[in-house]
Structure 1
Amino acid sequence: METTQVTVAVRGETSPGEVIAVVGSCESLGGWSHEKAVILHPHGNDGNTWTTIITVPKGVVAKYRYLKGFFLESKSAGGPYQVIVNMWETHQQPRTMSPTGSHQNIDDGQFGIHNEVNCVDSGWLTCQTEIRLRLHYSKTSPVSITKKKFKKSRFRIKLTETTTLEISMISANGYKSRHSQPECGNALEPSQWTEYNIHTMDPYNLELTFEFFEEDMGEHVVQGDAHPGFVGTACLLSSSFAESGKDFGVATLPIMGRNSRQTIGKVRVDYLVMRPIQGLHCDMSSSFTKYWKKRSTLDVGHRGAGSTHAAKHHRVRENTIASFKSAAQHGAAYIEFDVHLSKDSVPIVYHDLTCCISTKKKNDKTSLELIEVPVKDLTYDQLQLLKLAHAAAIKENNDKDLLDDEEEVDEHQPFPSLTQIFQAIPEHVGFNIELKWICQMKDGSWDGNLSSYFNMNTYLDIILSCVLQRGGKRRIVFSCFDPDICTMVRQKQNKYPILFLTQGISNKYPEMMDIRCQPLRSP
């Protein structure tokens, strides 16, 4: 096959160590793989023009995009680069080239701008780990002081470490994000959520130090001190995350006084560790994470053909293949359903975190004893074989599900697998996939009385892999009431959008503990 030498050029500013690269549909452009993207080289005096020469098939249309990132040498000899994508172009219609001669020059103008439209997005977790540390007043103040002379002090906190760091602050008055901190850190406010985002290639060997400063400078300030108001430090070792076996939780750290080895108090730090999806690579052919098309309202089948556990009359049970097919046949553009994992890690479709097991035998309608159990404690095969009921239906004294399922065919059975749903429902019907996760209420209780659940990274890796491998051209949106799940979904993949669900001000549903889930109220 004849080829063409194409010289491409694009302009864009980069940070130290960062490069611009190009990736596209043909083999010489990496086949949409970020690991095989072609690195451009700075040209000119300002260093903001990047160029390279690519050999592509002559007369064949090739699609391509530019990205900014870090290209790190592989840990194995001769292996591909470890590529961290910081920013990439996400136009629905990527750039194209169709070379006809032996040589061609293409000036693509400014990075991110194609057909006069600026469309870029941040990258996802490819090989790096992201650690988020949070300080907030969801329960009580994150800082507890025992030293008498600091009892009435207000503190500013600064995190010091050597890896890429971003600080975010969320409050009712707005959202701020910055890459640097004031010399004496940021103040702690009851209505504010302070978050530190750390990106690292070595997540288990970080030493993170919180420095504490008095916000109100008083008699304790030492004249000529390099850091006026500095009172102490608290140290967090990232290896403790691995030792705990948890990817999210709370670490309580002692605050050591500046001039002694005595503790002056403690600080409570929430942590979240996010890792790349294991065994699956996202390509760069398309992205809908921020895509929004102005169009008329769509019909969405809630749990398929609607909620049925509390209904007096229903033709098909909710969250079954039959229900989803019924919604599709009646013109639903999307169907909405809830997904979580069985004990043996099979993604299954069911609304509640718990279900009720009947101990009565089939066709025996004289006795009925029910036991409520977490769905996560039953294997996929057990869920298919046992006689089950919806926990919410039992609370409403509605055992219709139990009495009517004696002779149900497969499509009417509860607990279909997510794979079965992809296979059974036409591709033109979109999916709104709600990811089930436990939530803590403001009164301290937990959804489904479950205070512990799956490893969050493992849970999402299994579900996301299933969707990414079977999604095809189907329109898909994820949703969840848990903000950390939403964050992880956004960081683990680059294709589908995630919707953060909130219940607003409600008399029906209890308020959640997490300050990010609480409704905004006028002062």
Structure 2
Amino acid sequence: MDQDYKAHFKVFCSEVREWEKIHVVGSLPVLGEWNPRKSFPLTKSTDEENTFHAIVSVPSSIKEFNFRYIRVMYLDPSENNTSEPIMVLSKWETFNNARTCLIGVESQDGVARKNITDQFGSYSGKTQITDGWILNEKESVVYFRIHGEALKFFAKSYANKEYRLKVEPFDVRYSEIDGDDVVNLPTPSLPCFSNTDLSVLTREDPIFGDQYFNGSVFRNDQDYLVFRTRTVSLQNLAFRIEFYHGEKRCALSYVLPSSMSGTHGATVSPVIGLSSAPVGHINVNYMIVKRNKYTDQNLDIDSMKTTFGRYWRKRNRMLQIGHRGMGSSYTKNIGQRENTIFSLNEAARRGADYVEMDVQLTKDLKTVVYHDFHVLVAVAGRDSPSSTPTAAGENKSLHEIAIKDLTLAQLNLLHFEHISRANGSSAESPVALSVTPSKTETDELHVPFPSLAQVLRHVDENVGLNIEIKYPMYMQDGSHECQGYFEQNKFVDIILAEVAEHAGNRRIIFSCFEPDICTMITKKQHKYPVSFLVVGATNRYMPFQDIRSDCSKIAANFAAGCELLGVNFHSEELLIDQKPIEIAEKYGLIKFVWGDDLNSKEVQKHFRDEMNVDGLIFDRIGEDEVLKQNVFVVENHNRSSLFARSQHNSRSPSMSRRCMSTVE
């Protein structure tokens, strides 16, 4: 009987925080079969700093296996005497191709990798480390954003000074106030929270990292601070905001997540001075991200075997992305109804590499592909003869109603016009298409409001999908796109669950104008990448209140700090200022561009040749060109041809070196 192999693992990690450990996860049962919760723990070396090692047995029948290193921390909810510490995924290696061990070839005397020391996050000439997503039901990630006119002091001695802010988490069960000082009582051996990281979006380096001992400078209407903490006991977590003037702490404020209203919003907390009296207040925006509640129904979501969250293959050819399929049809004179199966497939037929579409939810929590938050519903008046069929609009008035207030059945039953027809504008509009098809339009592919699942099943599988998540925001004039919307976690979970069930091997990129939705998607899954949609400086649209979407430079910093794939920039601002492109390139972000300027072939050429962007999102894709194949079809064909030629010319059935390569 053949003896088992012995595989050695040894890795150096330059950054290991308190309570953190290194595990290895991989294709072998002993390595958890890509399940991070079943990963194999390494032992910290006693004679080599920040080095971890282990030896595992590998069956002799195994000739090759793959693996990744991960950084984890154990947090203790301390709910009762029997509660077990919970493993939280802190950082992990996110190369598209995991590490490979050809153990049948590499082993000597049955031992493999004996004298190899790996570098955490570096492999095959690449370095890529990414924050972990939420693995546990009890786990949450809390974000605090301090920006704008966040500070107000009514005590004169505190006004008109520059302050440094620091956010410190603590467990309310183990802290108390003694005079002017905070006294930390004896705590469990493991905390229920992680350190609090900081990202400053208005400075050169927006990447999350440790805070300074005396905090970071915050000036009203100048600085934008984002704080982030993981916890497994949200109900017992509190935050102490410390105010420093220079190196001296001069005031405190407290925020308790358990007292917040919902998982997303703003709270105002008093600022307490050295005399223990209120001297002002601070406004804090917050977001609490929870685990995707549908993840356990699809175990592949947590698998570390494959990840595309940070993966993008650079190509010489700029990608062409069909906007809503063949383009906006309700405000422009385009023959195909936008966001329908037909329009998306027509763009694919004309050679689109990706098609962009908009997804939102109905009242009964069904996904629908539609752009605007509202429609106009035709309602018959009292003077309309009840027994006489009427044409659309005859003896009927149009009333605005939100998609979220209609069930899917109602969307398929009632007659709708586009919101642009409000106030009688339909008579002057050159666009003939209504939202609801006429009785003569019988092709179901032209029907509006397809579900996300229908798109995933029926749109050409060779074309990539840019799924824009529609989530309403406040506008700069104080109005809101759609009040009373769904709670963010619930909203995102439903969409992600439908994608997980029906996407298969499709190429998918998520995007959204709401930056917190982008952050949330990255914390709930890792398979699909996210790109931040930004309006930037504009004279064409009402800007959003959120400065992250109002300024493309800050948008690029936000995307870099939150480890998004890239940014969908608005052409209007980039044609005036190219600095956002430079920031994106500095941090390796993928650069897409959208906007009406792209209707011009000259402008498209400018972005391709002068700005070297990765993709353009525009209307009427391929309409005035010879039909072509998208880049993925061409690449697949070339790979198949190359493989066929190599097979034909090969005299040996042995595997080629190219096939063994771990680099695509």
TM-score by structure 2 length? 0.70
Report if aligned partners of 1:389, 1:401 keep a CA contact under 8 Å in 2: yes
- Whether 1:298 aligns to 2:319 is yes
- Aligned residue in 1 for 2:111: 104
- Label 1:81 to 1:38 Cα distance change in 2 as closer, same or farther (>3 A): farther
- Aligned residue runs from structure 1 range 412-491, under 5 A: 412-447=446-481, 450-491=482-523
* Alignment match of 1:19 (pick from 21, 26, 31): 21
- Label 1:7 to 1:20 Cα distance change in 2 as closer, same or farther (>3 A): same
- Aligned residue in 2 for 1:235: 254
- Aligned residue in 1 for 2:36: 34
The alpha carbon displacement at 1:362 in A equals 6.3
- Whether 1:249 aligns to 2:265 is yes
1:496 alignment partner AA: Y
- Aligned residue in 2 for 1:222: none
How far, CA to CA, are the matches of 1:317 and 1:193 in structure 2?
41
Moved more, 192-201 or 65-74: 65-74
Report if aligned partners of 2:167, 2:196 keep a CA contact under 8 Å in 1: no
Determine helix, strand or coil for the equivalent of 2:196. strand
The alpha carbon displacement at 1:61 in A equals 3.1
* Alignment match of 2:524 (pick from 492, 498, 501): 492
The alpha carbon displacement at 1:283 in A equals 1.1
How far, CA to CA, are the matches of 2:416 and 2:203 in structure 1?
43
- Label 1:409 to 1:121 Cα distance change in 2 as closer, same or farther (>3 A): same
The alpha carbon displacement at 1:454 in A equals 0.9
How far, CA to CA, are the matches of 2:306 and 2:143 in structure 1?
28
- Aligned residue in 1 for 2:586: none
Aligned-residue Cα RMSD (Å) equals: 2.9
* Alignment match of 1:160 (pick from 146, 165, 168): 168
Report if aligned partners of 2:511, 2:533 keep a CA contact under 8 Å in 1: yes
How far, CA to CA, are the matches of 2:121 and 2:204 in structure 1?
31
- Aligned residue runs from structure 1 range 144-155, under 5 A: 144-155=152-163
* Structure 1, unaligned runs of 5 or more: 216-226
- Whether 1:405 aligns to 2:438 is yes
1:446 alignment partner AA: H
- Label 1:374 to 1:115 Cα distance change in 2 as closer, same or farther (>3 A): same
Determine helix, strand or coil for the equivalent of 1:299. strand
Aligned pairs, how many?
A: 501
* Alignment match of 2:543 (pick from 489, 505, 511): 511
- Whether 1:69 aligns to 2:89 is no
- Whether 1:377 aligns to 2:405 is yes
Determine helix, strand or coil for the equivalent of 1:463. helix
2:304 alignment partner AA: M
The alpha carbon displacement at 1:351 in A equals 0.4
Identity of aligned residues (%): 29
- Whether 1:364 aligns to 2:391 is yes
How far, CA to CA, are the matches of 1:351 and 1:362 in structure 2?
30
Moved more, 356-365 or 277-286: 356-365
The alpha carbon displacement at 1:329 in A equals 2.0
- Aligned residue in 2 for 1:223: none
Determine helix, strand or coil for the equivalent of 2:493. helix
- Aligned residue in 1 for 2:99: 95
How far, CA to CA, are the matches of 1:273 and 1:483 in structure 2?
14
- Whether 1:50 aligns to 2:58 is no
The alpha carbon displacement at 1:91 in A equals 2.1
* Alignment match of 1:130 (pick from 136, 141, 144): 141
Report if aligned partners of 2:12, 2:117 keep a CA contact under 8 Å in 1: no
1:14-61: CA deviation from partner (whole Å, max 9, x where unpaired): 333322222222433322111111122234511514122133461443
How far, CA to CA, are the matches of 2:65 and 2:167 in structure 1?
46
How far, CA to CA, are the matches of 1:177 and 1:403 in structure 2?
47
The alpha carbon displacement at 1:377 in A equals 0.8
How far, CA to CA, are the matches of 1:68 and 1:35 in structure 2?
12
- Label 1:400 to 1:469 Cα distance change in 2 as closer, same or farther (>3 A): closer
1:167 alignment partner AA: L
Determine helix, strand or coil for the equivalent of 1:445. coil
The alpha carbon displacement at 1:433 in A equals 0.4
The alpha carbon displacement at 1:240 in A equals 0.8
Report if aligned partners of 1:58, 1:99 keep a CA contact under 8 Å in 2: no
How far, CA to CA, are the matches of 1:44 and 1:173 in structure 2?
38
The alpha carbon displacement at 1:92 in A equals 2.2
Report if aligned partners of 1:167, 1:181 keep a CA contact under 8 Å in 2: no
Report if aligned partners of 1:28, 1:56 keep a CA contact under 8 Å in 2: no
How far, CA to CA, are the matches of 1:234 and 1:504 in structure 2?
33
- Whether 1:278 aligns to 2:293 is yes
How far, CA to CA, are the matches of 1:184 and 1:472 in structure 2?
46
Report if aligned partners of 2:197, 2:228 keep a CA contact under 8 Å in 1: yes
The alpha carbon displacement at 1:67 in A equals 1.4
- Label 1:52 to 1:71 Cα distance change in 2 as closer, same or farther (>3 A): farther
The alpha carbon displacement at 1:400 in A equals 3.3
- Aligned residue in 2 for 1:183: 214
The alpha carbon displacement at 1:108 in A equals 5.7
How far, CA to CA, are the matches of 1:200 and 1:165 in structure 2?
10
1:333 alignment partner AA: D
Structure with the larger strand share = 1
- Whether 1:142 aligns to 2:150 is yes
TM-score by structure 1 length? 0.88
The alpha carbon displacement at 1:424 in A equals 0.6
Report if aligned partners of 2:134, 2:140 keep a CA contact under 8 Å in 1: yes
Report if aligned partners of 1:436, 1:480 keep a CA contact under 8 Å in 2: yes
Determine helix, strand or coil for the equivalent of 1:175. coil
The alpha carbon displacement at 1:77 in A equals 12
Report if aligned partners of 1:12, 1:49 keep a CA contact under 8 Å in 2: yes
